[in-house]
A and B are shown apart, each in its own frame.
Chain A
Amino acid sequence: MTVAPEKSDVDVPEGYVKLTIDGEEVVAPKGELLIRTAERLGTVIPRFCDHPLLDPAGACRQCLVEVEMNGRPMPKPQASCTMTVADGMVVKTQVTSEVADKAQQGVMELLLINHPLDCPICDKGGECPLQNQAMAHGRSDSRFVDKKRTFPKPLPISSQVLLDRERCVLCQRCTRFSDQIAGDPFIDLLERGAHQQIGTSETADVLDAASTSAESDAASAGGGASAEPDAASAGGQPFQSYFSGNTIQICPVGALTSAQYRFRSRPFDLVSTPSVCEHCSSGCAERTDFRRGKVMRKLAGEDPDVNEEWICDKGRFAFRYAAAEQRIRRPLVRSADTGELEEASWTEALRAASAGLAKARDGKGVGVLPGGRVTIEDAYAYSKFARVALRTHDVDHRARAHSAEELDFLASRVARDGGPSGGGVTFADLETAPAALCVAFEPEEEAPAVFLRLRKGARAGNVKVVHIGQWASPAVDKTFGELLACLPGGEADAVDGIARHAPDLDEALRSDGAVVLVGERAAEVPGLPTALHRLAERTGARLAWIPRRAGERGAVEAGTLPTLLPGGRPVTDADARAEVERHWGLEAGTLPAEPGRDVTGMLNAIVTRDLDGLLVGGVDLDDLPDPALARKAFDAAGFVVSLELLPSTVTPYADVVLPIAPVDEKSGTFVNWEGRRRPFTVTLDGTGALPDCRVLDTLGVEMDADLFTQTPQAALGDLDRLGTPEGTAPKGTLVALSATKVPPGASAAPPAPGSGQALLATWRQLIDDGSLQIDEPALAGTARRVVARLSRVTADGLGDHVTVSTDRGSVTLPVEIVDMPDGVVWLPGNSPGSKLRATLGAGHGAVVDIAGGER
């Protein structure tokens, strides 16, 4: 679609129309809004309510233009944000029309009569669409001499989002975002006329009379972990959104501000760098703004292929961990005399680390646990360090529940998935897929950007979303989805039973473009990875594996798995080993021919003295399937080197702690779940913090192993030169994951809970006690309530609270009744008062005891 030259016989392609804007002929696609067509011509029409990703509203009236149709001028100026182009239309914007110009100036004056003149202290001052457009299109003087409307302020919408109603121009972007994009209509317009305002059910006086019946509800909500005083509202829906920060960013004035950033900085003092979110596997584009070496805020970056213009609140607000007081900034070495960790020089620490690792390697060997938050460059460095410096395949980044079956699944379905350019599932596909089946995957909690795309596709009526899970979580509702409920652990049978129990879904999965989205929880359900593989083979639906952590997909490609070398090369493939050996300059036959141990295998080997040392990246022992085993193993390990940002559960066992750089202080590349590379550059330069790949490279030098990963660029270059193996085997046949490996129905049926017992269903909530969310009280206040969910039958006789226990410990939470299979209890995985791995040592599908609990 290009601007047509000034002649009347322009070709108008099918589906396009020709119109004139300010005397210039232009060809535009049917259905395009005038305001966008004008913008392509270079004429910016001022606007407030208009937003390309929201449905048109026509509320602010700032974008009025004159329109002529069929030679007849329309009697009134028209809102260019709601009117679509038509053939033969003649449009005059403020550039050529006095009427339009006066209308725009008039609306601007009206918007300003009640706007406080507090720009000098407003967060938005300096980057404010109202300020900018008032300068560009407004009068220099106001004729308003009467009394401005005032409101008390600020009004807390949540612990994070604060509302200044005086600054609000009522463009309804925030309410439309909440309603249309996020599906969380927690804020809405209240009152009318000049009293119209944005508010929540808590701020709506009119609802107070009806609130008494909700009191009991509010009381039980207070028991949760939420920091806000009234977790449940007086009359309407309680505040709850993982996306509320977007309303602040799209607010065209300073009406919505965040508790985190309010009054902290001025836009013109900030330096902005494009960045990539480190929290989940979506790899959302962000903009990081810093001032004097300190990150002040993060904003959503614009990337139509990935996150469009939205990010979740975790991605936006959880960044202070990197500047935490307890951050490890100097290497630590455990003193032989005191047994305490003491600060040391890099030279000293590296020498101690290399000596200890070399000794352990030459003994029974060293295992490597990089963790799932690594960039692909850092993952590659761990992968290469394990093989070259430690001469082992004992490397596994999966700091979570894992299985050998999952390893095969990753090797055959993920490692060689070509990514967006190679036919892999993309974000855009989620908008058009005729069917999207989510299995062991809770999109809103685990990959919010995926949730937004699914909702967008479903809202447009394109996508039928089906979830296999235990209860109808908010995401099921908000994706207009359907729930196929099954027991925790019964997902494999549910997947195998689709053809029998849900023939319409089976049919939909066979249609072109259908996708199956699999979460990392699939590893916890025996038989599920195989059942999914079988489903994909049978129906032709494309599989996408969407792990929670940002580094998992890149780590698979970098080969931090006991069965995989970089590029998805199987360890057991002699040709692949030879290729890698040649590339790495190793003698032929150096790389062991047998796969290494997985995480649990390594921990067991330490306990049984079959392994001596551990090299650990960003791993929290309480994330591992059995934290008790992990502690036992770390205690027993001969030598532990920890590469960490902050003191962790590993630190007490570490012999050497080497500080590494957080994402803001390094460059690198996350590979998102699509397989799309998401490179980012250094935001805070010159802090002296080193990326893992650099630390490992130096450590390698100390151990006479050259990794060539001294910088992220070098590491990625080395990985890319290695590339993927020649003669790529077709997907699904590369490794031994065959459709019949675990035949249907052969997966162990979920254990039957006895009396006083239940099956545990669990996943993590987006905002919880995750280690990257420390020091963010305002964010923590927007977490979902921490409750146990049970069916009415299961909860019968338990009372208000339920105590869930195993032989390790117990968790007591308020009960919420939901429609779910009987004999099942759902608990959040890592929320305040509900840290399941640490407390219960149990995960999804385990049998637990339940009893009425007192709080």
Chain B
Amino acid sequence: MNSSEKAPLTPVLTKRWLSPQSWRLHTYEKLEGYTAVRKALSASPEQVVQMVKDAGLRGRGGAGFPSGVKWGFMPSDEAKPHYLVINADEGEPGTCKDIPLMMADPHALIEGCIIAAYAMRSHHCFIYIRGEALHPMRRLYAAVREAKQAGYLGHDILGSGFDLEMTVHAGAGAYICGEETALLDSLEGRRGQPRLKPPFPAASGLYAAPTTVNNVETIATVPSIINGGSEWFRAMGSEKSPGPKIYSVSGHVERPGQYEAPLGTTLRELLEMCGGMKDGVPLKFWTPGGSSTPLFTAEHLDVPLDFEGAAEAGSMLGTTAVQVFNETVSVPWAVMKWTQFYEHESCGKCTPCREGTFWLAQVLERMVDGRGSEEDIDTLLDVCDNIGGRSFCALGDAAVSPIQSGIKYFRDEFLALCESNRPEPAGAAESPESAQGSDSQAAQPVGAQA
């Protein structure tokens, strides 16, 4: 947990992380904790929503949708119960921000939940936490218990007349359950598969009632907005992407970890914070926001990492999971590993993602094994084209990002893998495997899965 020492501004989200027993209620209360909720509860729900809108807070789960606008979609009547669901199913490869946040500062999330629930007239909040994250889950359970005993949760919170129940629910290990509608299905006890939209969750979400699903970091940011005000919040980051953000930097750097910095920070700045590339081996490629965002290379060191900057440079901000790879790493190999992940995690609901990832993984495995051909590269790109934008949910789009961007920037590496399989008479004797590659469907590839 290397909280940044060189951060341009005082840390906001991570400021308590290094305090002793930062996860306990008394620590949190000593460090400004549960002061925002008192202010929020004395305002009207509409005022709270407006404040979040004014601050320009955007969802930290990857899509960057304006949070205040999303809250505003909730119906104003309470004909059906309203639900607030926190997406704590942090599973995007490379992403490690919500889990440390819940480990170090679970009360920040809980306080944010109370404020958000109040703003959306919800009286039951669910935190859907990734099942593998046992330690933070226990911290969260304990924190909810503490908060309840202290009167921050339950009936008539702080004498405001507002009631809120909070349920922490453990997922069962599926990447797809990070997709908000699949998460809702899973929370209801069904197989986690994305739902048809519309209806959107704000109209018919959990148990067919109005629901808002928000990311952990988004909600944990809310108390600071209430306390600091929207002007203060907008002082950080850029015009369209204001506020602080936790960048999780991993891979070949000297000090991997979580670095809080204003949105728009560049990789060059992040690398400075984390002590540069490990052992000085030069950077080759990196992801700005997890494996689902198209790769960047050393050319992109100065791209501002906010929603607009990443998009303009041809990628996405995603979860700001910065995975850094140096020159020792083979791009096709890394792409194959990622593709295997998506093949494993595809939920199976729609054809392109289910069948496409299955196919892509096999082609990449074959190529990395030295049994690919130049045609395979075209096939990969065309299959990617048939998956991206054709799948039921964004998992399919995500699955093709590393392949498309990997080939875009490092086509030579893929070609090199196919070198030995060029149909040249001179090279025929070089390897017995080079003879295979029949395009007949009936023929089993020689030595496949050997």
Q: Does B179 make an interface contact (CB < 8 A)?
A: no
Total of A-B residue pairs, C-beta within 8 Å = 123
Question: Cβ of A146 and Cβ of B392 under 8 Å apart?
Answer: no
- Complex interface bits, A142-154 against B, C-beta within 8 A gives 1, otherwise 0: 1111110100000
Question: Cβ of A64 and Cβ of B390 under 8 Å apart?
Answer: yes
CB closest residue in chain B, given A148: B441
* Alpha-carbon distance between A170 and B385 when the two chains are bound, in angstroms: 22
Q: Which of B137-145, B286-294, B348-356 participates in binding chain A?
A: B348-356
Q: Does A679 make an interface contact (CB < 8 A)?
A: no
Question: Cβ of A107 and Cβ of B362 under 8 Å apart?
Answer: no
Q: Does B359 make an interface contact (CB < 8 A)?
A: yes
Question: Cβ of B351 and Cβ of A62 under 8 Å apart?
Answer: yes
Question: Cβ of B438 and Cβ of A144 under 8 Å apart?
Answer: no
Q: Does A294 make an interface contact (CB < 8 A)?
A: no
Question: Cβ of B196 and Cβ of A113 under 8 Å apart?
Answer: no
Known A-B contacts A110-B386, A145-B441, A146-B448; the reply to A61 vs B362 at CB < 8 A is: no
* Alpha-carbon distance between A142 and B382 when the two chains are bound, in angstroms: 13
Question: Cβ of A117 and Cβ of B357 under 8 Å apart?
Answer: no
Interface residue from A57, A107, A146 paired with B386 (Cβ < 8 Å): A107
CB closest residue in chain B, given A82: B196
* Alpha-carbon distance between A196 and B343 when the two chains are bound, in angstroms: 12
Interface residue from B346, B359, B385, B387 paired with A113 (Cβ < 8 Å): B359
Q: Does B444 make an interface contact (CB < 8 A)?
A: yes
* Alpha-carbon distance between A109 and B387 when the two chains are bound, in angstroms: 11
CB closest residue in chain A, given B437: A145
Task: Tell me how far the C-beta of A602 lies from the nearest C-beta in chain B, rounded to whole angstroms.
Answer: 59
Question: Cβ of A110 and Cβ of B355 under 8 Å apart?
Answer: yes
Contact residues of A between 93 and 129, Cβ < 8 Å to B: 102-103, 106-107, 109-111, 113-114, 117
Interface residue from A57, A145, A170, A189 paired with B191 (Cβ < 8 Å): A189
Question: Cβ of B391 and Cβ of A61 under 8 Å apart?
Answer: yes
Interface residue from B176, B196, B359, B387 paired with A146 (Cβ < 8 Å): B359
Q: Does B72 make an interface contact (CB < 8 A)?
A: no
- Complex interface bits, B77-105 against A, C-beta within 8 A gives 1, otherwise 0: 00000000000000000000000000000
Known A-B contacts A59-B349, A106-B352, A110-B352; the reply to A143 vs B379 at CB < 8 A is: yes
Question: Cβ of B379 and Cβ of A147 under 8 Å apart?
Answer: no
Task: Tell me how far the C-beta of A97 lies from the nearest C-beta in chain B, rounded to whole angstroms.
Answer: 13
Which residues of chain A are within 8 angstroms of B174 by Cβ–Cβ distance?
192
Question: Cβ of B392 and Cβ of A107 under 8 Å apart?
Answer: no
Q: Does B37 make an interface contact (CB < 8 A)?
A: no
Question: Cβ of B439 and Cβ of A143 under 8 Å apart?
Answer: yes
Question: Cβ of A107 and Cβ of B441 under 8 Å apart?
Answer: no
Task: Tell me how far the C-beta of A114 lies from the nearest C-beta in chain B, rounded to whole angstroms.
Answer: 6
Task: Tell me how far the C-beta of A677 lies from the nearest C-beta in chain B, rounded to whole angstroms.
Answer: 41
Task: Tell me how far the C-beta of A803 lies from the nearest C-beta in chain B, rounded to whole angstroms.
Answer: 42
- Complex interface bits, B332-364 against A, C-beta within 8 A gives 1, otherwise 0: 000000000001111111111011111100110
Chain A contact patch, size range: 35 or more
Which residues of chain B are within 8 angstroms of A59 by Cβ–Cβ distance?
349-351, 392
- Complex interface bits, B410-450 against A, C-beta within 8 A gives 1, otherwise 0: 00000000000000000000000000011111111100110
Chain B interface residue count, CB cutoff 8 Å, equals: 46
Which residues of chain A are within 8 angstroms of B123 by Cβ–Cβ distance?
none
Question: Cβ of A61 and Cβ of B392 under 8 Å apart?
Answer: yes
Which residues of chain B are within 8 angstroms of A106 by Cβ–Cβ distance?
352, 382-383, 385-387, 390
Which residues of chain A are within 8 angstroms of B350 by Cβ–Cβ distance?
58-61
CB closest residue in chain A, given B342: A193
Which residues of chain A are within 8 angstroms of B191 by Cβ–Cβ distance?
188-189, 192
Known A-B contacts A170-B348, A193-B344, A194-B343; the reply to A144 vs B389 at CB < 8 A is: no
Question: Cβ of A110 and Cβ of B389 under 8 Å apart?
Answer: no
Q: Does B366 make an interface contact (CB < 8 A)?
A: yes
* Alpha-carbon distance between A194 and B346 when the two chains are bound, in angstroms: 8
Task: Tell me how far the C-beta of A549 lies from the nearest C-beta in chain B, rounded to whole angstroms.
Answer: 42
Which residues of chain A are within 8 angstroms of B379 by Cβ–Cβ distance?
143
Which residues of chain A are within 8 angstroms of B357 by Cβ–Cβ distance?
193-194
Which residues of chain B are within 8 angstroms of A169 by Cβ–Cβ distance?
351
Centre residue among A103, A107, A192 by max chain B CB count within 10 A: A192
CB closest residue in chain A, given B190: A188
Which residues of chain A are within 8 angstroms of B386 by Cβ–Cβ distance?
102-103, 106-107, 109-110
Centre residue among A82, A149, A188, A194 by max chain B CB count within 10 A: A194
Interface residue from B343, B356, B441, B445 paired with A117 (Cβ < 8 Å): B441
Question: Cβ of A107 and Cβ of B390 under 8 Å apart?
Answer: yes
Task: Tell me how far the C-beta of A84 lies from the nearest C-beta in chain B, rounded to whole angstroms.
Answer: 9
Task: Tell me how far the C-beta of B355 lies from the nearest C-beta in chain A, rounded to whole angstroms.
Answer: 4
Q: Does A76 make an interface contact (CB < 8 A)?
A: yes
Q: Does A362 make an interface contact (CB < 8 A)?
A: no
* Alpha-carbon distance between A60 and B196 when the two chains are bound, in angstroms: 13
The 8 closest A-B pairs by CB, nearest first: A196-B348, A106-B386, A146-B362, A194-B358, A76-B389, A110-B355, A193-B346, A192-B348
Interface positions of B (Cβ within 8 A of A): 174, 176, 191, 193, 196, 343-352, 354-359, 362-363, 366, 375, 379, 382-383, 385-387, 389-392, 437-445, 448-449
Q: A106-B385, A110-B355 are in contact. List 10 more A-B contacts (CB 8 A).
A: A76-B389, A106-B383, A111-B355, A147-B445, A188-B191, A192-B347, A193-B347, A194-B358, A196-B347, A196-B348
List 6 A-B pairs, Cβ < 8 Å: A59-B392, A64-B390, A145-B441, A191-B348, A192-B348, A193-B354
Interface positions of A (Cβ within 8 A of B): 56-62, 64, 75-77, 82, 102-103, 106-107, 109-111, 113-114, 117, 141-147, 149, 169-170, 188-189, 191-196
